[in-house]
Each structure stands twice: as structure tokens, then as C-alpha cells.
Amino acid sequence: MTVPEEWKHGLESNTPPAPYPTDGSEYQGAVRHYYGDALKRFLKFFPVFLLMWVQLYVFQLDYLLPVGIIGMIGVVWVSLLLFDRLRSIRKCSRVLRTYPLEFRTPVEKIGMESTHTLYLRFGDQKGTPFTLRAKDAVGRGRWPVGITDGVWFAGDEPFGGAMIVPGGGELLLLQPRDWRAREEDRNTAGPERIDRAKRAGIKGPFRL
């Protein structure tokens, strides 16, 4: 579901300044912080759901069965969320190790979906001027504050990439909005770019 047009520019995160450099000098701080953030989000709920599940076997009381079922579902749910977040962070890290960070400005907001997916375009038109899908590596679903002023991008637009937003330090994974429509761009990119995209793990389509 697409967020209404009148909302797409106003839904911005209130993320405080990042506790790591966001000036393009390095990316390791962002990756470490996001790994820690993903773990904190997991530990915030996992012990609660685990206790709800385990108490069913400890007390063996029939009326606690609904609580135990909720706990079991919760354990599976938060574990899947953790796996998905770690996968996204790992993908970003691989891209950032392979490509240098380049400052791209301005960034045009195209739209947002309720699935926490952002659609944007680099206004400098470097490379190919098409829309990219972007998703925060831990699933934050709002526009980073100041994103239109520019971001630090690593990658190759026809294949995708990762970016760090100055200030808040948000780490986002990107790929073309319409993967099939960019097939010719990728096929004619040349062996060096294709090989680099393969090493970065973005040669083929991937799930955001």
C-alpha cells in the first residue's frame, strides 16, 4: 500500500545525531551501530516471549495455554525479524566494503509504502536517472531528516547499493525500483562493473 501523496514528505524520523562519523570518512561505525541496534531490538522482546512460552511447561496449567501459544509465536516472530535485519546489515556491509562512498545530492523523494519502503532518485542524474527502492537496515519506516540535502552512496545504480544519511547516520539498502527495466543497463555495464557488483552481492535481484 502506498502512503498518501500529502504524507510522503512529512513522515520524517526524529533520529538523534549518530554516535559515529557520517561525513563519508568511514562506514564501519554505522555497521557496528546497526548490528547493536538490531540486537537491542531483539533482546527487548525475546526474553518476554520466551518466558511466556516456557511457563507453560513449568506450571503445566491448561488455562495458561493461550499465553504459551502467544509466547511461542512471539519467539518465532522476533527471531525472524532479527535474522532479516542481520541479513540487511550484512548486505550493506558487503556493498560498503566493495564500493567507495560518494556524496550524492540532491535526493528527490518519490514516494513511500507502508512496507517501510522508500522510493527516491538522485537529482544529480549521475549514472542512470531512474527510481531506486530504499529500506532502512533495521526497518525504520520514515524518511531520514535532511535526506534531500544529500547522502553518502556506495554502489552502482543499475544494480543497487547502500547509503548513509549525514547527521542521523541511517543505513539504507537500495536496488532499482523496476529490476527488469534496468536489464539492459546491467548487461551493457561492462565486465569490470558486473564483476564488482557480483563481489558486492548485488549482481542479481535481492529482497529488501
What are the start-end ranges of the E strands in the chain?
A: 102-104, 107-113, 117-122, 132-136, 151-156, 160-164, 171-176
pTM of the full predicted structure?
Answer: 0.88
Amino acid at 138: V
Q: How do 117-122 and 160-164 pair as beta strands? A: unpaired
Q: What is the mean pLDDT of the chain?
A: 90
Q: What is the pLDDT of residue 123?
A: 82
Does the pLDDT value for residue 10 go beyond 70? no
Strand 151-156 vs strand 107-113: parallel, antiparallel, or unpaired?
unpaired
Q: What is the pLDDT of residue 126?
A: 55
C-alpha R_g of the chain: 20
- Residue 75 has φ and ψ, to the nearest 5°, of -60, -45
* Residue owning grid cell 525475546: 46
Q: Look-up: residue for cell 499465553?
A: 67
Mean pLDDT, residues 62-71: 87
| Local structure of residue 122 (DSSP, 8 states) | E
Residue in this structure with the C-alpha cell 547509503, named with its chain if needed: 163
pLDDT at residue 14 in the model: 67
For the segment 145-189, what is each residue's pLDDT rounded down to a tens digit? 999 999 999 999 999 999 999 999 999 999 999 999 999 999 999
Residue 1: pLDDT over 90: no
Average pLDDT over residues 102-110: 93
Q: What is the pLDDT of residue 59?
A: 77
pLDDT value for 28: 97
Q: What is the mean pLDDT of residues 41-63?
A: 89
Residue 26 is placed in which grid cell?
568511514
Q: Which helix (H) or strand (E) holds 48?
A: helix 28-59
Q: How confident is the model at residue 63 (pLDDT cuts 50, 70, 90)?
A: confident
Average pLDDT value for residue range 126-137: 81
